[in-house]
């Protein structure tokens, strides 16, 4: 099945000015490219949503890391299964900048619980 569409070509005429020529163009319908673009569209939509959620999480953690004891308890209990004193977390976090807090979070996430204790 072939699709036909109207094409507009701009060419230089004999006097050097640009002339417009209307023509019928035959477009080959490639079903494989259509499927690939559909899959890519949904993949990029998924990546956009995942990236948006990651940015929202980072903004929330930026504003909540020093203000909320419950937020720190939730975050550090999720990454560190061991028990820790929540007031020690607040004591340490109050003297930290966000980059220090983030570094501490990544340490808690990647270290054994017995080694990392707050």
pLDDT at 1 over 70: no
- Render pLDDT for 25-77 as a digit per residue (tens, 0 to 9): 877 766 777 888 899 999 999 999 999 999 999 898 888 877 777 777 777 77
Query: Over 25-53, what HEC string results?
Result: EEEECCHHHHHHHHHHHHHHHHHHHHHHH
CA 38, 40, 42, 43: dihedral to nearest 10 degrees? 160
Largest CA distance in the chain: 86
């Amino acid at each position: 099945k072939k699709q036909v569409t109207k094409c507009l070509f701009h060419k230089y005429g004999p006097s050097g000015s640009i002339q417009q020529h209307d023509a019928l163009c035959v477009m080959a319908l490639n079903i494989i490219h259509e499927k690939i673009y559909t899959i890519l569209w949904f993949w990029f939509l998924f990546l956009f949503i995942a990236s948006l959620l990651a940015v929202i999480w980072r903004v929330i953690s930026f504003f909540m890391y020093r203000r909320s004891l419950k937020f720190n308890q939730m975050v550090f209990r999720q990454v560190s299964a061991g028990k820790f004193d929540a007031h020690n977390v607040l004591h340490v976090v109050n003297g930290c900048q966000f980059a220090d807090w983030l570094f501490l979070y990544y340490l808690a996430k990647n270290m054994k619980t017995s080694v990392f204790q707050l």
